[in-house]
Chain A
C-alpha cells in the first residue's frame, strides 16, 4: 500500500510540474496590478498556476537573470550594471510599459501650504531647510519631519532621480519601510512631509501640487507632473518574443482593455487606450 501511494505521489508531482506555471516577482508598487491581473487570468485559464511575490524591483530583475522568474515587475528601469550583466550573460531582457505612477508629495491635512516647488522640495530633503517657516514665513516655526522610503524601494529611487538629482538626502530624513507606515505617520504628525505612490494616497493626508501641477492622470501621462514614472514588467526574450504559453497570455491580458482597466483600478494611470 505504501509503495502504491509513493508511486502515485511521484507521478502526480511529475504531472503538476508539467502544468503551465507562471512565476512573477518584483516591485511591490506593481504588486497590486499583478494581483488583479492574475485573479482574472485564473478564471479564464484555470489550469495555469501563477505565483506572485513583491520583494522589490531588484528581486524581479534578478529573478529573470537567474531563471527563477518568468516576469519581473519593476517600478524602475534597468540599471547600467544590469545592462552590463545582460551583455555578459548573453541574455536579452525587455521592458513592457503598462502604466504610469505619479509620486505624490503629502503633508498633514492642517498644514497651511498647498504647493511646493521641486527646488524647495529638494532643499527640504537635503537638509538645507529645517523648519517650516524657512520655507514660508506664514508657516509655524516648527521642525520639518521629513519622511522617505528606504533605499530598497523603487519609489525612493524615482524620487531620488527626479527631485534629488541623485544627491544625498540628509541624515535626519526618516527612512520608513513601507508606504502605508509613511502615510500613517504623516496623517498623525502636523509637521511632517513625505512622498508616496499616487495609488497609496488616502483621504487622511493632503496632496501638494508640485511646481503648480497636481498629480492627475492626464498630467502624469503627459509627463507634465514632474515626479512620475513608468511602470514596467520585464520578460526574457533572448531567443524570441514569447509567441505562446503563459507569459504570452499574461502580456496579452495586461495590455488588453480589461487589463488596462485593472491598472486604473489599482490606482495607477493606464498606459494605453486612454
Chain B
C-alpha cells in the first residue's frame, strides 16, 4: 500500500468513528433513560399510568400518577396541530402556486426568521402581551390550553410550512401542467391534483409537526397554566409532561422515587416520539416510490 492509500484508509476510519458517535449517543440516551425509569415502573407501573394524581412530594402518601399530565400533553398537542397544520398547508400552497417572486421572498424570509426565534422569547411574548387579553375576554386563567396551543403553533409553523412546501414542490411539474391544460382552475390544480399526489409527503409533514410539538418544553412551561387537571374549556390550564419534568427535575433528590417517576414520564414521551418517527419513516419510504 502506498502513502495515498494509507491516508485514505485512516480518513475513512476517522469519519466512520465520528459518524458512529451519533448512533452511540442515541443508544446511550435510550439506555440511560430506561435504566433510570425502570425502578418507577417496577415499583408501581400500573398506578403511574392510571392515576390522575401527581403528588410526588406528599410526605405521607406520595403518588406519581402521570395520566392527567399525559392527557394534557396530548390535548394541547392535538389543539396546536389542528391550528398549525391547516395554516401551514395554506402557507405552503400559497408559496407553491399563488405567490409571485417578490411575495415568495418576503414570506420565506419571514418564516425563516420566525423559525430562529427562541421558544423562551415566544413564551415571554405570550405571557406579557397576549395573556392579559385572555383575561379581558373573560378567561378565568390567562395561561391556559388555548394560549399554549397558539404558542406551539407559532413555534412550529415554519417547520410545517417548509416541509409541506417541499412535498408539493417534489411533485412532477407535468402533473400540474397537465391539469391546467385540461382546463382546471389554478386552485383545483393545486388543491385536488398536486396535493393528492403529494399527500404522503404532506401527511409526513403533519406527523413530524406533531412530533415537534409534543416535545416542546419552554412555551408550555410558561403559558400552559401549570395545573394538572383535565381541561373542560379552552380557558382551563393544563400541565403538560414536558413542563412538569422541566420544573421539577432541578430540585428532585437523585435516586428517589420522584426522580425515577420523572424519568418514566420522559420515557413515555420518548416512546411516543419514537413511534411517530417510525410512522413518518414508513410513510416517506412509501412516498419516494
Q: Is B141's CB under 8 angstroms from A152's CB?
A: no
A216 within 8 Å of B by Cβ?
A: no
Chain A minimum-CB-distance residue to B229: A171
Given contacts A171-B68, A174-B225, contact A150 B140 (CB under 8 A): no
Q: Is A172's CB under 8 angstroms from B227's CB?
A: yes
* A177 partner, pick from B58, B128, B140, B221, beta carbons under 8 A: B221
The docked-state distance in angstroms from the alpha carbon of A120 to that of B96 is: 61
* A150 partner, pick from B52, B59, B248, B254, beta carbons under 8 A: B248
The docked-state distance in angstroms from the alpha carbon of A160 to that of B58 is: 10
B135 within 8 Å of A by Cβ?
A: yes
B31 within 8 Å of A by Cβ?
A: no
List A151-186 residues whose CB lies under 8 Å from chain B. Answer: 151-153, 157, 160, 166, 168, 171-177, 181, 184-185
A103 within 8 Å of B by Cβ?
A: no
Q: Is A145's CB under 8 angstroms from B58's CB?
A: no
Q: How many residues of A contact B (CB 8 A)?
A: 31
B227 contacts across to A, CB distance below 8 A: 171-175
List B216-236 residues whose CB lies under 8 Å from chain A. Answer: 221-222, 225-229
* B141 partner, pick from A150, A153, A168, A174, beta carbons under 8 A: A174
A189 within 8 Å of B by Cβ?
A: yes
B253 contacts across to A, CB distance below 8 A: 58, 62, 81
A22 within 8 Å of B by Cβ?
A: no
Given contacts A172-B227, A172-B229, A189-B135, contact A143 B140 (CB under 8 A): yes
Chain A minimum-CB-distance residue to B226: A175
A56 within 8 Å of B by Cβ?
A: yes
Chain B minimum-CB-distance residue to A80: B59
Given contacts A151-B251, A172-B227, A175-B227, contact A145 B140 (CB under 8 A): yes
Q: Is B60's CB under 8 angstroms from A166's CB?
A: yes
A50 contacts across to B, CB distance below 8 A: none
The docked-state distance in angstroms from the alpha carbon of A181 to that of B141 is: 14
Q: Is A151's CB under 8 angstroms from B56's CB?
A: yes
* B55 partner, pick from A59, A142, A168, beta carbons under 8 A: A168
Give the Cβ gap from A30 to chain B, nearest Cβ, in Å.
15
The 9 A-B residue pairs with the shortest CB-CB distance in the complex, in nearest-first order: A152-B251, A175-B226, A56-B251, A151-B57, A171-B229, A150-B247, A143-B140, A166-B59, A174-B227
Interface positions of A (Cβ within 8 A of B)? 55-59, 62, 81, 142-143, 145, 150-153, 157, 160, 166, 168, 171-177, 181, 184-185, 188-189, 191
- 11 A-B residue pairs with CB within 8 Å: A58-B252, A143-B140, A166-B59, A173-B227, A174-B225, A174-B227, A174-B237, A177-B226, A181-B222, A185-B143, A188-B132
Q: A152-B252, A171-B68, A171-B227 are in contact. List 12 more A-B contacts (CB 8 A).
A: A55-B250, A58-B251, A143-B140, A151-B248, A152-B248, A171-B228, A171-B229, A175-B228, A177-B247, A181-B222, A188-B142, A191-B140
